[in-house]
Chain A
């Protein structure tokens, strides 16, 4: 049994398997299928300062080996999270991380401060890359100045672990990662969804209410691996990898490319037990290759 413990900044995870925001609700939706305490951590869905109703239906379209969504950050706001959700999940023996989104720097900072008052929340994953909301952070995530601005503001308001989630919808994701690092991020996670669209040819209409949406699932994995590989070489802070991970082998590929931890997203919709199966599979891989710890394979791609 290899050691699965991994570190993101000051945060120690019992294993490197996290859930991707927006694919795992508040965790409790999955508690009938898996033991949540077996997760390295779970990232609860995108939370904003004020409640958001999100975008109109239809919000989802299946595409080859993946899906598009334009949910648009539907959530009940950070105060609801603190008062009504947090009390029910704070004692789950896993690392609780809140994904934070916003439309202004001030909103981000104010919500971050409130998240900081929830003792058992150990980190923020800062979403500066949602492709489905006009001011859903995407504007911040596509320029280095924007990244620095919002990351610096949240850094001042929040002193626990800060992970910045990056968009692949940029010319150079490495530049964005370096900007996040310079502004005080403890880690970067990548990739958020790739912007795409789908069309119903018979009806000559888009399949999504917002026309465009974020693409996820195994179809994005090669892009995600490439991004993790490039960013991990460029930054000194740990990289959290995600994008189309369906099983332990996919996860191992991300570690080899340089990820310190991984997130499982869309796979939760296909098999709600994916996360724990990946934990077991990573263990099996490490044992089979005689590695004593997950840290031994991080960035160990032989090129």
Chain B
């Protein structure tokens, strides 16, 4: 059930120069059930330049503590304004929105979770959910350089962690698709979130190996509810589909990425 809730800022931590981890709690204990891969729409403030809500993917949920964690890249006026929130501030949030990553049907599936940049955000909660469901989790995360590598200890709680950086300062040098793990291991399912070129490159690998693969898209959106039709992506049948309400997670076989 979707809700509009006023959540309270419990903590705001600077993770890198460009990323914050924002922890919000539901003071009335009414945090709805959220699936990995779903997102929320955050009302930042009433400044004219931050008119719309900001769609942010769910990084982690701790129901016992009624806490929702958002990993936010500071890319524009809205997100930079979020970085100025103080502990105790109230923030209006619409949640949960969109569809999550589907859980593998095979028992004990070998899952590869691939993320780049702030696209790693939804993979932590996904790793948690997959591990809890008895699947084997490996994370393959890419960054430009050591300064962009974050939260390694958190990811290690739920699976093996493989890293790449473009300059080779941490992990293997290159893009995620250059990592040796892709040749060494055979995975049952791949889940990807990150820049579109990266997702397309991983999709190419999955198509070639005939591996079930899901990607989480990030388009500019307004309502987050499937009403405004602003965030569409074209599917492989030439139809425009809403990323917010029909995604943000799509099976790569639904997308025109094969060529």
Query: A residues bordering B, Cβ < 8 Å?
Result: 22-25, 29-30, 32-33, 45, 53-54, 56-67, 69, 71, 74, 217-218, 266, 268-273
Q: Which of B56-64, B158-166, B227-235 contacts A (4 or more CB under 8 A)?
A: B227-235
A268 in contact with B223 (CB, 8 Å): yes
9 contacting pairs across A/B (C-beta < 8 A):
A22-B227, A24-B227, A25-B225, A32-B2, A65-B51, A71-B230, A269-B52, A269-B223, A272-B223
Given contacts A29-B245, A33-B4, A269-B53, contact A64 B229 (CB under 8 A): no
Given contacts A67-B52, A273-B4, contact A30 B232 (CB under 8 A): no
Give the secondary structure class of B's interface: loop
- Other A-B contacts than A22-B227, A29-B227, A269-B228, 10 sampled, CB-CB below 8 A, are A22-B229, A29-B223, A32-B1, A33-B2, A57-B233, A58-B220, A60-B221, A67-B222, A71-B229, A270-B51
Shortest distance from the beta carbon of B254 to any chain A beta carbon, whole Å: 16
CA distance A62 to B53 in the complex (A): 10
Tell me whether B240 is interfacial, beta carbon within 8 Å.
yes
Given contacts A53-B238, A269-B228, contact A64 B49 (CB under 8 A): yes
Shortest distance from the beta carbon of B195 to any chain A beta carbon, whole Å: 16
A69 in contact with B51 (CB, 8 Å): no
The interface residues of chain B lying within 8 Å CB-to-CB of A32 are: 1-3
CA distance A146 to B107 in the complex (A): 64
Given contacts A25-B225, A67-B51, A74-B240, contact A54 B245 (CB under 8 A): no
The interface residues of chain A lying within 8 Å CB-to-CB of B48 are: 64-65
The interface residues of chain A lying within 8 Å CB-to-CB of B226 are: 25, 29
CA distance A270 to B227 in the complex (A): 12
Query: B residues bordering A, Cβ < 8 Å?
Result: 1-4, 43, 48-49, 51-53, 92, 94, 219-234, 238-240, 245
Shortest distance from the beta carbon of B42 to any chain A beta carbon, whole Å: 11
Q: How many A-B residue pairs have CB under 8 A?
A: 98
A57 in contact with B232 (CB, 8 Å): yes
Given contacts A53-B240, A269-B53, contact A60 B4 (CB under 8 A): no
Q: Which 4 residue pairs of A and B lie closest in terms of their CB atoms, listed nearest first?
A: A60-B230, A25-B227, A269-B223, A32-B2
A59 in contact with B230 (CB, 8 Å): yes
Given contacts A30-B225, A33-B2, contact A64 B51 (CB under 8 A): yes
The interface residues of chain B lying within 8 Å CB-to-CB of A218 are: 51
B51 in contact with A62 (CB, 8 Å): yes
CA distance A57 to B220 in the complex (A): 9
The interface residues of chain A lying within 8 Å CB-to-CB of B232 are: 54, 57, 59, 74
B245 in contact with A270 (CB, 8 Å): no
CA distance A69 to B94 in the complex (A): 22
CA distance A273 to B2 in the complex (A): 12
- Which residue of B43, B53, B225, B229 is within 8 Å of A54 (Cβ)? B229
A272 in contact with B94 (CB, 8 Å): yes
The interface residues of chain B lying within 8 Å CB-to-CB of A270 are: 43, 51-53
CA distance A108 to B223 in the complex (A): 29
B240 in contact with A30 (CB, 8 Å): no
The interface residues of chain B lying within 8 Å CB-to-CB of A63 are: 51
CA distance A268 to B223 in the complex (A): 7
Shortest distance from the beta carbon of A201 to any chain B beta carbon, whole Å: 14
B222 in contact with A269 (CB, 8 Å): yes
Of B1, B43, B228, B232, most buried by chain A (CB within 10 Å of CB) is B228
CA distance A33 to B41 in the complex (A): 14
CA distance A63 to B229 in the complex (A): 18
CA distance A267 to B230 in the complex (A): 15
